[in-house]
């Protein structure tokens, strides 16, 4: 769970608090055990080794990759393979990411997921159709159904949604899913707001695309309301 404070800086030791909460149980379900999530126009399914070429097309589109931490497309197929391997067995039990496919044809048009924070990318040809909102809503429905376990973790205190006020550490806190968005990425801000995420923090950090510069990031959160809880 990555969280940040509201005065435009990465938190220091005094900003952290210990909380008792829940998190998805590890190991996560294997990709072979994950059911497809079908929406009006999309299918969210587990990533496969044979997705390499389609993922490479996605990850070499400058318009897509400009919003990533590197700010550039993959240099070659080997770099894409290295990225894809993070989501394939045996690593699939450590991440909850999926292929985003156009339902009509089955074509892979994006990737998305969470662990530890929410993120997604969609091929530029499919922008402007409301697909990001559709996929985030569908993904969240699948995410909240993952098995949970109790956990004690240290987080930025300003991200905490406490069960009751005035607690001493460790604080009993609701589970929170976090998404980080570059301040200038207005499209993604709109998507997260539509999907019910709350803007709770802003900060500045060195820009990995150009270490001589800084980049403004905005943190959003969503209290994970699990079925039957």
Q: State whether 63 and 133 are in the same domain.
A: yes
Structural domain boundaries, residue 176: 1-25+149-229
Q: What is the CATH number of the domain that holds 124?
A: 3.40.630.30
Q: State whether 58 and 4 are in the same domain.
A: no
The pLDDT-based confidence of 1 (bands split at 50, 70, 90) is very low
pLDDT at 6 over 90: no
Q: Tell me the pLDDT tens digit for each residue of 93-118.
A: 999 999 999 999 999 999 999 866 89
pLDDT at 225 over 80: no
Return the number of other C-beta atoms located less than 10 Å from residue 76's C-beta: 10
Q: Tell me the pLDDT tens digit for each residue of 167-180.
A: 888 999 999 999 99
Contact 73, 65 (CB under 8 A): yes
pLDDT of residue 12: 64
pLDDT of residue 7: 45
pLDDT at 145 over 90: yes
pLDDT of residue 5: 35
């Amino acid at each position: 769970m990555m969280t940040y404070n509201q005065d435009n800086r990465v938190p220091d030791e005094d900003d952290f608090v210990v909380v008792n909460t829940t998190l998805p149980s590890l190991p996560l379900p294997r990709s072979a055990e994950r059911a497809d999530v079908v929406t009006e126009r999309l299918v969210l399914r587990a990533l496969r080794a044979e997705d390499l070429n389609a993922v490479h097309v996605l990850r070499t589109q400058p318009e897509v990759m400009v919003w990533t931490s590197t700010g550039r497309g993959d240099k070659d197929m080997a770099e894409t393979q290295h990225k894809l391997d993070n989501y394939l067995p045996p690593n699939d039990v450590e991440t909850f990411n999926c292929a985003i496919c156009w339902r009509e044809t089955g074509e892979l048009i994006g990737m998305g997921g969470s662990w530890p924070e929410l993120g997604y990318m969609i091929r530029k040809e499919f922008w402007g159709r409301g697909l990001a909102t559709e996929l985030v809503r569908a993904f969240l429905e699948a995410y909240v159904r993952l098995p949970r376990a109790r956990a004690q973790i240290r987080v930025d205190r300003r991200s905490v949604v406490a069960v009751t006020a005035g607690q001493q550490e460790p604080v009993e806190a609701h589970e929170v899913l976090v998404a980080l968005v570059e301040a200038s990425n207005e499209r993604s801000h709109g998507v997260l707001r539509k999907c019910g995420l709350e803007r709770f923090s802003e900060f500045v950090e060195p820009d990995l695309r150009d270490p001589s510069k800084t980049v403004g990031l905005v943190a959003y959160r969503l209290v994970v309301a699990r079925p039957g809880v």
